[in-house]
Every structure is written in C-alpha cells, then in structure tokens.
A and B are shown apart, each in its own frame.
Chain A
C-alpha cells in the first residue's frame, strides 16, 4: 500500500494495485489515507527557510575557494606562458647557433674553392686520404669506394668548427665541388646541428649524424646529387 502511494511499485504492479483499489473500498480508503498523510507531512515539513545571511555566507565560502583557484589558474597560465616563451627563446638560440655553424662551414667551403691549395692531402685514393688524418684529429672515419659513381675524391684538410678539429674532404662532381665536413657529434660546434637538407645562401646543405660522427655536406650541386653522395658515405660508415 505504502509503496504504491510512494510510486515505488513496478508498472505491472502499479496497474494491478490500481485495479484492486477500484474494486476494494477498504483498500481504497487506506490508500486515500496514506496519500493524505503524505501531503500533510509534505506541507508541514516545508517549514524552515534559511536566512539571507546564511545564504551569503555559504556563497562566500564557495566562491572564496573559486577565487583562490582563479588566482591559481592565473599563476599556472603565467607559468605556462613563461615556459612557452623560454622554449621559444631556446629554440631561437638553437636555430641561431645552427645557422652560425652552417655559415661558418659555408665560408670554409668558399675559401677552399678560392684557394690555390684547397686540400692538404691530395689524392683520389681513400686509402691514402684516410690514414693521413690519423693523429691529426681525435677520430677516424671511413670513405666509400667511388668507382662507378659520378664522384671523385680530391683530397682533404683539417677543419675546425667551434674550435673542435675535424676533417674536410673535397669531392668533385662534374664541374662542381662538394665539401664534406666530418666532426665528432659531441664537439661544441656539432651539437644542435639537427638533421636534413637546407639552402644556405647559394649552397645546398645536407647534414646528418652517424656512428657518433656529424657529417655536413655543402655544395652548389643539386640536392639529389648530395643525397647520392650521402648514401655512399653512410654505407661506408656502417660497421
């Protein structure tokens, strides 16, 4: 009876009970009494209202926490903005350092082309050029076999990047020359050079890292030719 009055019966039970109360006067009277009691309690029970002061006090409490969080939100936003700015400057610095290194090597390449003695070890034989660097630079490197390729080794010289010694190898590709600089990855100038190909003033540039060494190729040949020589050097570098 009470569950019916409270609307807690399932729909089938509700229908059944409703049907019953239409036929049973006693249950109908009891149901009426139960419903009236519910109404009486509801009306009597809605007795107390909060004061405006209490309302204000509760609102103040809730919104004070919200205010604190707004300040925290601002602090986080500021910290995030500073972090982004810091990252931006870091990236800018890194890009500047990279451009500076490339510019430095491009200058060396230009100076090599203009020199009457572009290389210190003159040989087309890799077995002559490679051992020449032994003891002069703190690392060794491998050179590819160039027979059957469009490239000819002309020789090499010591080069410096950020005061770190490395090798500059000069290759010929038709009427063009390609400088291949090799440095240790951990050397000052080589750090942060990244990877990929780009255009530096009038030259094409390609740089990559392999087996702890940093390679930088500079030339006015087409990027496709640079890529071909790169593949040869990479293959030779693999153990």
Chain B
C-alpha cells in the first residue's frame, strides 16, 4: 500500500510555495488572466497526479515549470504561439555581441517599469519565457534547460537573442518608433 498521505503532504510542501511564481509566469505566457488561472489549476492537477513518478532529489521547481509550460504549449493559446516557441535552430549559432544603439545605462534610465513590461510582452513567446525564467524566476541555465527540455547551449544562445530583442524593443519604444 503506497504511503499516499505522506506523499500528498510532501507535494503540498514542495508545490504550494511555487504558486505565486507559477501564476506570474503563466500570466506572462498566456497574456490573459482567465487562461493563466486555468493553466495554473491544470498544472497543479497534473503535477499532483504525476507526483508519484517524480524522482526525489531532482529539481522539483524545474519539473513544475515544465508541466506548466507543456500544458500551455498544448492549449489553444499555446498552439497558436507554437511557431515562435519551437524555433530550435539556435544550436551552433554564435552569441551576438552586445551592441546597442542607445547606451544601456541611458536606455534603462529612461525606461519606466511599464515600458519594460510592454517590451517583455511584445517579445515572441520563446524569448519571453526564457527571459522570465532567467531574470524573474532566477533559474540557472541548467534549470532553464530542464524546464524547456533543451540543451544548455540553446538556453544561452536563446537568452542572448532574447535580451538583444528586448533591448531593441525598448529602444524602439523610447524613440517612439
């Protein structure tokens, strides 16, 4: 007989502290409150159901985020975003050098928080998610790789491209373009 009650308690201890972060991430991904709420609920249901197969000692947070991400990808909104998410032709691409039209410090001095949020929102889904996982969730490259099921090399190159795209978007917004 499996020790289900202690398993459930263990799940609660691990999963519930991630609730707010998961919602924030879901909200950015879906860009819709109702969809984000459904996504989070579905994520917790799937995670609870799949918890017996979770390997203790591995990264639980990355596991939960992977469930959320995969649930999003198979949702109606996620399927619409699919082309921008499945761009995995980044293997072997060299990381672009850091070149900006506007000095970074000046750019960020001028950019309000709202402007940065708009810039993040306008990014393609795959850039948006990786920026959020790195900067907001403060995941390591390894954790991000586990979450999006991609090699670390892809994580690094996609992150570089996402940051570049974000800077370019910020510049455009600041210049009123």
Contacts and interface: CB of A to CB of B under 8 A. Distances in A.
B174 interface: no
B119 to A, nearest CB: 8
B116 A33 contact: no
Contacts of B166: 37, 41
Contacts of A70: 5
B8 A65 contact: yes
Contacts of B36: 48
Interface stretch (A51-59, A142-150, A153-161, A185-193): A51-59
A59 B44 CA distance: 9
A45 B95 CA distance: 24
A37 B167 contact: yes
Nearest to B95: A2
A69 interface: yes
A199 interface: no
Contacts of B61: none
A61 interface: yes
Contact of B24 (A48, A57, A59): A48
A212 interface: no
Contacts of A47: 24, 27-28, 117
The 9 closest A-B pairs by CB, nearest first: A33-B104, A45-B136, A44-B116, A48-B27, A50-B23, A41-B135, A69-B4, A66-B8, A44-B117
A123 B48 CA distance: 81
Interface of B: 1, 4-5, 8-9, 11-12, 15-16, 19-20, 23-24, 27-28, 36-37, 40-41, 44-45, 48, 95, 98, 100, 103-105, 107-108, 111, 113-114, 116-117, 120, 131-132, 134-136, 138, 140-141, 156, 159-160, 163, 166-167
A38 interface: yes
Interface in A1-60: 1-3, 6, 8, 29-30, 32-34, 36-38, 40-51, 54-55, 57-59
A92 interface: no
Interface residues of A, number: 40
A3 B45 CA distance: 35
Contacts of A72: 4
A50 B20 contact: yes
A82 B31 CA distance: 55
Main secondary structure of the interface of B (DSSP, over half): helix
A90 interface: no
B98 to A, nearest CB: 5
Contact of A33 (B16, B24, B103): B103
A76 interface: yes
B109 to A, nearest CB: 9
Given A36-B104, A43-B113, A46-B136, A61 B41 contact: yes
B106 to A, nearest CB: 9
Contact of B98 (A1, A42, A54, A58): A1
A73 B5 CA distance: 8
A84 B4 CA distance: 22
Given A2-B160, A37-B163, A50 B37 contact: yes
A62 interface: yes
B68 to A, nearest CB: 12
B134 A6 contact: yes
Contacts of B44: 58, 61-62
A54 B159 contact: no
B23 A2 contact: no
B28 A45 contact: yes
A8 B140 contact: yes
Contacts of B15: 62
Contacts of A44: 113-114, 116-117, 120
15 contacts: A2-B156, A8-B140, A33-B100, A34-B104, A36-B104, A38-B135, A44-B114, A45-B135, A45-B136, A49-B24, A50-B20, A54-B23, A58-B19, A65-B8, A69-B5
